[in-house]
Structure 1
Amino acid sequence: MPPDENPTVEDAYDKLSPTYETQGNDPYCADLEFPAMAELIPNIAGKRILDAGCGHGRYAEWLVDKGAEVLAVDKSSEMIDQARHRVNNQVEVRRADIGEPFEFADDSEFDGIVSGLTLHYIEDWRPAFTEFARILRPGGFLVFSTHHPLDDYIVFDTENYFETEQERMTWSASGEEIDVPFYRRPFSEVINPLIETGLQLDELIEPKPKETFKEKKPESYEKRLNYPTFLCIRALNTE
């Protein structure tokens, strides 16, 4: 089947949902991105946390296991079904687009927000970060991961590093090649939206793979020790 000429993220993830749990166990997630994110997330026992772009529920499950009260949202209805099955009714899971106003959340409702490998599907982060700042309580945290701008710049051989522009990843699922659109951006468009919306950068990690990555994907281990793949960031609501 030829690839869709105009794929949407929602359509792509609806198609990927039956096999996405396998993707989530991929070493790039399990042994590179996830450990760095877990390091940045503070003690959340008894805290109300938003999982923004929950996918199949990887972070929602982990957050509730750490004692948090979790609301998980995602745009893909198929991924929401996967997440609900995974968390077994321990988490409220709702359909919502984090690229739109957060009608599901009140001001200062959450102690923290976690968004794993989701924001790169949004072109302009300022509206989402404005909403993050609105719904966070004073002292609340935002922890998110995204593609590393340098990796995207090199992999997609772009002509202008400083532009924010749409690219496509191609993933395989059930014998079908699925195009997943996302936005690559310069480093300034990762940090400036935080500053402009009143959130304070607290810590940034450019993660390196764990030894378990080497066991699963030895052919990529040395490169990922010396080459950036993801950014993981913690920001605070200081207002």
Structure 2
Amino acid sequence: MTSVQAEPNDYDSFAVAYAAKNETSLHNAYYERPAMLDLAGDVTGRRVLDAGCGAGPLAAALRERGAIVTGFDSSAQMLELARKRLGDDTELHLAELGGPLPFPDAAFDDVVASLVLHYLEDWTAALAELRRVLVPGGRLLVSVDHPVIGLVQPDAADYFATYRRSEEWTMGGHTAVMSFWHRPLHAMTDAFTSAGFRIDVISEPFPAPGAREKFPEAFVDKPSGAFVCFLFFVLRAA
């Protein structure tokens, strides 16, 4: 029997199952994570903050590419998994995106925010803190749910509205209620520029090579190989 959690987005309740799936899934391992790494490019020697690091797969990949990585997450269980993976060489903190962060001003050359901003109704405080901890000219790399996703959900509303939508995820025998905030593209770009960022890149990438061979069933109705799942940004701190 599965159980449904009372509070949405409680990663502590299914951290191990989620982390295991994240390692090999189409959307994480063959789509979102490779796209973020491609956008990051050469990170050798760069101080990178992984905002919402989870169990640490992106942090580990960035560190392998020569970055000096720090991470934070709001889930204690996910952070424990990240510590086991990354060891004592990577600084990790329990902190909330949208709250005060335990870092000085201009502490990082890059921040990666991988599939985390869409959990927040209001991006103002989160973006202000991420801008604060970046050096002038530093980069914020963001991935979020693509705004068209909300249009095909049962609780879809006006595309131009900002509204919460929910899904149920079942992993490891546990059913979790996950809530996300839909916002239209112009609301995202307005939030970024209002927070003092310049938009360098907006990207809608294809899955990584090998995805079609490993997950052929996912491409039956996608002959071009295109996915419309996530939207990516590279932003520059003014």
Same fold flag (TM > 0.5): yes
Is the Cα contact below 8 Å between 1:213 and 1:221 reproduced in 2? no
Please list every run of at least 4 consecutive aligned residues from structure 1 whose deviation after the TM superposition is greater than 6 angstroms: none
Q: CA deviation digits over 1:77-125, x for unaligned, max 9?
A: 00000111111222111100012122x0111111110111111111111
Task: Please state how far the C-alpha of 1:159 moved relative to its aligned partner.
Answer: 2.5
In the other structure, the counterpart of 1:235 is 235
In the other structure, the counterpart of 1:42 is 41
What is the identity percentage for the equivalent residue pairs of Structure 1 and Structure 2?
Answer: 32
RMSD in angstroms over aligned alpha carbons? 1.6
Task: Please state how far the C-alpha of 1:174 moved relative to its aligned partner.
Answer: 2.1
Is the Cα contact below 8 Å between 1:32 and 1:209 reproduced in 2? yes
One-letter identity of the residue aligned with 2:4? P
Q: CA deviation digits over 1:18-70, x for unaligned, max 9?
A: 11222212011111112211111032222211100001101111121122221
Greater Cα offset, 198-207 or 225-234 = 225-234
What is the distance in 2 between the residues matched to 1:169 and 1:63? 30
Q: Is 1:3 matched up with 2:1?
A: no
What is the distance in 2 between the residues matched to 1:64 and 1:210? 20
Is the Cα contact below 8 Å between 1:71 and 1:92 reproduced in 2? yes
In the other structure, the counterpart of 2:152 is 154
One-letter identity of the residue aligned with 2:50? D
Is the Cα contact below 8 Å between 1:28 and 1:213 reproduced in 2? no
1:46-195 aligned within 5 A: 46-102=45-101, 104-156=102-154, 158-195=156-193
Task: Please state how far the C-alpha of 1:232 moved relative to its aligned partner.
Answer: 1.2
One-letter identity of the residue aligned with 2:52? G
Task: Please state how far the C-alpha of 1:131 moved relative to its aligned partner.
Answer: 1.2
Q: Is the alpha carbon distance of 1:39 and 1:226 closer, same or farther for their aligned partners in structure 2, counting shifts above 3 Å?
A: closer
One-letter identity of the residue aligned with 2:177? D
Aligned with 1:236: secondary structure?
strand
Greater Cα offset, 209-218 or 46-55 = 209-218
One-letter identity of the residue aligned with 1:151? I
Count of residue pairs the alignment pairs up: 234
